[in-house]
Structure 1
Amino acid sequence: MLVRKVIKAKILDETNKRKLEVLEREYNNFQKALKGEDVKLYSATKQQAERLLMKIKKQNGGKLRRKEYPLILRNDVYRVWDVKVTDNKLTKYWIKIPIYGIRGGVNLPIRPHCELDMSWRFKEAKVIRKKNGWFVHITVEKEVEIKREYDNILAIDLGIKWIATVVSTADNRPKFYGKELRRVRGHYFYLRRKLGKLKKFKAIKKIGNKERRVVNDLLHKISREIVNRAKKENAMIVLGDLKGIRNQDKGRRFNRKLNSFPYYRLSKFIEYKAVWEGIAVIKINEANTSKLCSRCDSQGLRHNGRFVCPKCGVEFNADYNGALNILKRALGYISRAGAGLTQPITREDEWKPRQTENLPALAVESVNY
């Protein structure tokens, strides 16, 4: 299976200022080429500008929707390498960017957001200018074989108070994610409302962009921690399928929180990070997982984030109960022999593991219950 992702790297400013000046010249000429001007550009870069201009004309009627567009580099004109043995403490990764009039281009140190493997296939790259410096987004590909057998299952319940509640057959104690995310979303909501009353609409747009960056950063950290745990426990990941969740109507305040929470983005972040590591992700319908008792399957009551079962008397966090139900549903679809699993348990069981069914080879697909 061929998978792809984008590596974001900062071009370090500590390098030779002359190199950044010629990079800026090439970047500015690329913007001018998109406006139809005849400028001096590296030949392959000029071809990319012409292709992008044709695409813009076809999609937007020839109107430039952005102030600036990334400088596009074909995979055969730039090169990334690592310096494994060096006294250079600046960085071990470098990139060669082609520049018009400079033979061999310019070599610039970069600091990527993750380690690079030189065995990956390096595809298209984009040079981006921001207020805090220069960045390059490098698209990479690699062949991945999704594992078919696992020792554990990692179940994730998505919710409003806690955007993700995670339990595993290796450790059923719940892990809650989303406290900082909830604080950030609440802060920007009240800030937007305050600015709206003052009719400062430009400021609202500005903080909206900042909020999106902060939220995406938090979602990347949450998804990375979840996938790292799945990798450590050799677990496949089971996500609740939230199809139709936004069709609910439980009051203005609840609906506002429900519709503003980035469930889809978090799910996608988890999925692509897991696939990159060769970990399977399946989806199970979440219908009634918040209403049924994870111990006796009876219908219970939810109040102030707590779940109470009138039949067996169990009482614990409602999101935790939902995650356990998702875990049970995943186990219910597994019938053939495989690796040993630990039975899902509750706090009242004092976390004593009990050996039960075995985990079979996995068919990667979306499951509806």
Structure 2
Amino acid sequence: MIQRGYRYKLKPTPAQERLFAQCAGVCRLIYNLALEQRRDHWRAFKRQTGSSISYPSQARELTELRAEYDWIATVSQTCQQQALRDLDRAYQNWFKGIASYPSPRKKGRNDTFRFQGREVRVRKLNGTWSEVRLPKIGWVRFRDTRPLRGKVNNATISLAPNGWHVSFTLAIEHDAPANIAPEVGVDRGVANTLALSTGERISVPASLAALERRQRTAQRVLSRRKRGSKRYAKARARVSALSARRARIRKDWHHRVSLDLARRFGTVVLEDLNTKGMTASARGTVDEPGRNVRQKAGLNRSILNQGWHIFEALLSYKLEERGGELIKVPARHTSQTCSACGAVDSRSRKSQAHFVCTSCGHFENADTNAAKMILRRNTASMLVEEGHRVSVEARTIGEAKSQTGNLRPSGRGRRVVITFLPAKSPLLHAERIPKNSSYVAKQLLPFL
């Protein structure tokens, strides 16, 4: 059983659009009232009742609120209950430490509401159009771009800069087949969005750069408008439309590329990158201001424009659906290590695009070389290519991967690693590992 989301563009009537706005506004109000209650009144509630505020207690109060106010009762109760569930899930994630504290929902940013799957019905009209029946709203047409499959768990209505959309969450019966396709290493970069160990290099569409320039122009126009005026609203809508168009183009490209990789390869190896840390601001503090702030801001925009995280998320579920596997390995020194001899030297990276090994003279595109090293870090057997012997480093990484599934750096000790060259002359270089003499001896003995 797998969970998949199908999104379609709605074509509501003007009356239905008003109902959509009303439902989104009421659900947003219920969410914010419940958030205020949990944030500011939980102590008084616990003194009076002896228990904490939870979803069941707020659902009971919602029933009383609907009986008191008709304009709240006109909106489906399920949508309001789903808003309370969203808040409860947000608090659970905050308690677990995997999300920040819940924030209030805002008009223009959180225009959304959700129905349970048992309450909605979908029927086909023709080859292009279908319609969905929503409680207290009626039948709404949508552009049918692909057939639904599986059982509908819920339906979410949301407002985007280009109109209202419906997203169906589906439970689909699926058995992943055995995948015997080859492996590939993928290096994510800025100049080349993706570089494969096969030698292929893929980049995001060039139209994104042109749209970014148009968006910056629109943002400068917006900055000169008076807040609250009609011209401000028009300029803000223009900026939102351009930003949403960029996001759609980028996401479509990631869908197509990740699907192609999932079909061609059984195992995809990526670097374990901390994108959030890599795109942190360099401004620093008032006492200790940062350096090269503008340059770092430009690099951050370039990294975020590539969409590394969304590519990883899409590729993960597409591989899982086809019986494949996504593996992440440490990114340390992948761009400075020679894929032919294993020598680590920062001087080998001559430029962004050129890699010339200072030890063996091997030259190759720098991103392709890094992708090959990423692939080799997956398992020791991948290091045996073109007659090369397995190095101590490769054996260590292979054993760690088989035990934990993802090797992570640890410790502050140092060790000497022997990497055998094609000419059978050992190259010595140092890497960080835990301080453990017996561990080092165990790894070196088979080669001495």
Aligned runs of 1:68-107 on 2, under 5 Å? 69-82=111-124, 88-91=126-129, 93-99=130-136, 105-106=138-139
Kindly indicate whether the alpha-carbon contact (under 8 Å) linking 2:162 and 2:241 is maintained by their aligned counterparts in 1.
no
Q: Does residue 1:154 correspond to 2:184, yes or no?
A: yes
Q: Which residue of 1 aligns with 2:154?
A: 124
Q: Does 1:313 align with 2:350?
A: no
Gap change, CA 1:253 and 1:265, over 3 Å in 2: farther
Instruction: State whether structure 2 residue 406 is matched by structure 1 residue 366.
Output: yes
Is the Cα contact below 8 Å between 1:70 and 1:126 reproduced in 2?
A: yes
1:164 is matched by which residue type in structure 2?
A: L
Structure 1 residue aligned with 2:206:
180
Contact 1:309 1:315 in 2 (8 A): yes
Q: Does 1:295 align with 2:349?
A: no
Which residue, out of 372, 378, 385, partners 1:330?
Answer: 378
Counterpart of 2:3, as a letter, is R
Name the CA distance, whole Å, in 2 between partners of 1:208 and 1:279: 39
- 8 A Cα contact 2:176 2:320, kept in partner: yes
Superposition pairs of residues 176-255 of structure 1, within 5 angstroms: 176-178=202-204, 180=206, 183-184=209-210, 187=213, 191=217, 209-210=240-241, 212-243=243-274, 245-246=278-279, 251-252=292-293, 255=296
Residues 177 and 322 of structure 2 are in contact (CA less than 8 Å); yes or no, is this contact kept in structure 1?
no
Partner of 1:265: 310
Equivalent residues of 2:319, 2:326 under 8 A apart: yes
Q: Secondary structure of the equivalent of 1:303?
A: coil
Structure 1, 146-155 or 317-326: larger mean CA deviation? 146-155
CA distance in 1, matches of 2:170, 2:315: 18
Deviation, structure 1 residue 159: 1.0
Kept after mapping to 2: 8 A contact 1:294/1:321: yes
2:77: which partner in 1? 46
- CA 1:192/1:267 → structure 2, altered by over 3 Å: closer, same or farther? farther
Partner SS, residue 376 of structure 2: helix
Closer, same or farther: CA 189–62 of 1 in aligned 2, 3 Å: closer
Higher relative strand content:
1
Counterpart position of 1:8 = 7
| Distance across 2 between alignment mates of 1:65 and 1:82 | 35
Counterparts of 1:218 and 1:326, CA distance in 2: 28
User: Aligned residues, how many?
Assistant: 324
2:179–2:323 Cα contact (<8 Å) kept: no
- Structure number with greater Rg is 2
1 or 2, which has the higher helix percentage?
2
Structure 1 residues 270 and 217: CA distance shift in structure 2, 3 A: farther
Identity of aligned residues (%): 16
Compared CA separation, residues 108 and 177, structure 1 to 2 (3 A): same
Distance in 1 separating the partners of 2:330 and 2:265:
23
> For structure 1, which segment, 319-328 or 146-155, has the greater mean C-alpha deviation from structure 2 after superposition?
146-155
Higher relative contact order (CA 8 A, sep 6+): 1
Q: CA deviation at 1:73?
A: 1.7
The whole-number CA distance in structure 2 between the counterparts of 1:71 and 1:193 is 29
Aligned counterparts of 2:102 and 2:182: Cα–Cα separation in 1: 53
Q: Say whether residues 1:108 and 2:152 are aligned partners.
A: no
| Mapping of residues 32-43 of structure 1, within 5 Å | 33-34=26-27, 37-39=69-71
Indicate the residue corresponding to 2:106 in structure 1.
65
SS of residue paired to 1:48 = helix
Deviation readout 1:146-188 (Å, 9 max, x if unpaired): 5664321122111121222223xxxx23132235277258636
TM-score w.r.t. structure 1 length? 0.69
CA separation of 1:140 and 1:133: change in aligned 2, threshold 3 A:
same
CA distance in structure 1 between the aligned counterparts of 2:264 and 2:105, rounded to whole angstroms? 49
Q: Aligned AA for 1:306?
A: H
- Is contact 2:117-2:152 (8 Å) kept? yes
